[in-house]
Amino acid sequence: MKECRIIIMGFGSVGQGIAQAIALKKAMIKNKYGVELKVVAAADSSTSAINQDGLDEMLLIHSKNSGGDLSNYPNDGTEISGLDVLDAVEYDLLMEATPTNISTAEPALSLTYKAFDQGKDVVTSNKGHLALKFKQVVGAAEDKGVEFRYEASVGGAMPIINFTRETLSSCGIESITGILNGTTNYILSRMSSEGSPYDITLKESQELGIAETDPTQDVEGIDAACKTVILANSLLGVDATYDDVEVEGISNITSEAIELAGKDGYLIKLIAEVSKDTLKVSPRLVKKGSAYDLSGTLNMANIKTDLAGDVTVMGLGAGSLETASAMLTDVISILKLKY
């Protein structure tokens, strides 16, 4: 039986989702693809659990949540962290789920480069290194002859990168326009349905765990702008970075503006526009009842093609297990290609 030995770097919400997804699906993957997934290391920001013979995915989650870090994992918990984890164990694939850093792209950038240098494949949910250095990172993977997949970096469980490349492979992509941030969509949806002001709705979203304690990346459009860059590079071949995107968030949207739009049959949504001529994230008016009329944390994207016309995709844009599902799909793609 072939093995795929996995390191999970980053063990917050998404990292724990990866562990849970592997626990749920490894038997199916073994039966269907003839490959046994084995998590040989998992690491948070300061600790890890490492065992060459494999770790128990659900015990990893329990150890993290009961004791605060992975050093609590029975017998195999360690103080090893960061790049050192990649030297501490033999592995085949890095699943990288550290927090997005739009300033330096670290630690994702260094972890990814090191894995490439070691000849290992990488699957990521991270946006920072892709938004800042897409061409360099993808080029480095090609130079080293390794696989690099990043479906989960845009839209969580919403299929878009793999879907467009594979299912729409006969088509030229002219533009992509959509709602790429679930937190802002939730806030604007609640403001529209309840007439509540922005600050109160944001606070409610934070209490529900939908918005972060520091919501800046979401509400100021930074997260959606990162995803705009990734789509521009990966699907339209535009050599762009975060600095090329015109960005405006939703923090200045008032309940009065939303009410006024509603009287005319419109909603206000944070819309990302991706084309060879335009990279933009901003609040826009969209018609009620249109494809952009989504509530909650859903994401959507309208893909304008030359042969198939407009194709619209929709899905959950965030969530632990949902994002992990996209990452595990990328893993399966690599298994089918290389094992």
15 in a labelled binding site: yes
64 in a labelled binding site: no
Alpha-carbon separation of residue 19 from 59, 64, 246 (angstroms): 9, 12, 37
Find where tokens 């085949």 sit.
Answer: 92
Sign of CA dihedral 228, 229, 233, 238: positive
Q: CA-to-CA distance for 84 and 41, rounded, in angstroms?
A: 11
127 in a labelled binding site: yes
315 in a labelled binding site: no
10 in a labelled binding site: yes
Question: Which one of 227, 263, 269, 288 is the catalytic residue?
Answer: 227
Q: Is 203 a catalytic residue?
A: no
Q: CA-to-CA distance for 8 and 10, rounded, in angstroms?
A: 6
221 in a labelled binding site: no
Nearest to 81 by CA among 93, 99, 69: 69
Q: CA-to-CA distance for 24 and 111, rounded, in angstroms?
A: 27
Nearest to 176 by CA among 309, 316, 299, 304: 304
Kindly report the backbone phi and psi dihedral angles of residue 33, in degrees, each rounded to the nearest multiple of 5, phi listed first: -115, -5
Q: Which residues are registered as beta bridge partners of 175?
A: 275, 304
207 in a labelled binding site: no
11 in a labelled binding site: yes
Q: Which residues are registered as beta bridge partners of 124?
A: 96
Nearest to 171 by CA among 182, 163, 183: 163
Nearest to 252 by CA among 202, 300, 312: 202
Nearest to 227 by CA among 278, 194, 272: 272
Question: Annotated binding site for NADP(+), which residues?
Answer: 10-15
Question: Annotated binding site for L-homoserine, which residues?
Answer: 212
Question: Annotated binding site, which residues?
Answer: 10-15, 127, 212
Residue numbers annotated as active site: 227
Question: Annotated binding site for NADPH, which residues?
Answer: 127
